[in-house]
Chain A
């Protein structure tokens, strides 16, 4: 495809951005190279294939360990996407995108952990219910 002609461009573009990165830092934020996109894509394919294979084949007996692996690989893939596709780095926009991301991650962590924690305790502290009561529920 035409994208092959892109490769020689990449190093030139890199060095140009290095030369005056202090000036146009913000503008370099959304740019990648063919190489970085392909690396990100290959990593994503691998990181998607492994959890699907783990669950579909049931390769590991322990469900808990499989669950940990699936979630761990998911987190790694999110980081891969952030770096290679969304071009996150601590310098873009003077560091403010990273600050916003960290703040959001803190909020997401509080929301997820807090909800699960509180609701789990509400569940365990519910009045016990017999199967007959469950059947007669509206």
Chain B
């Protein structure tokens, strides 16, 4: 039984693509057969974050328009043989695909894969409608900022109106030091406003920037973000995993430094 998950946020730049790459890779690590679909036609990124850009020959629009078979457009991941990417087209725009075509495409993929992850474009226009058309559940990504939360709230309303009931929240780019000082909203504050189930929180971690630039998702490694993403994957599978303590333990030297401030 396969599950179709859309990763969406409303606002741009909060980490949808990074989350898609990491959750997808994490699920593949947990031995699931996974396909990632980049639905951001015209502004594709997922292939870059996955480090698979150099392998693209056909894309989503080619499949929908019948220029190639699905199998020809699916790119196998560098590291996991049970992970695939269906890249988006760069030279077209969102209107090249319709929600009906997405539903048909995903119906075909359902037979092959355990998890189908859709990386949604920012905004609530055609691209968003294409991405959510065939989704069973949604992961909402937000940062602890008022603007991102406002957009997330709008998106949740639209998803519910489209009969997607299973909606989980990921709070991304959290900085515990700022939360402690009272300069940033805490996870509790965000969950309070949005009133949906929290599936994970990811700290603001410079390793993310490094891994994104290198095209190697960091899920499952020993960095805070790597652990946080792995926990999210396990929770997606239905496991109970305790929440990570995001408070970074201060090293001896930094403590010593503070003493002399």
Bound pair (A, B): no
Q: Which residues of A contact B (CB under 8 A)?
A: none
Q: Which residues of B contact A (CB under 8 A)?
A: none
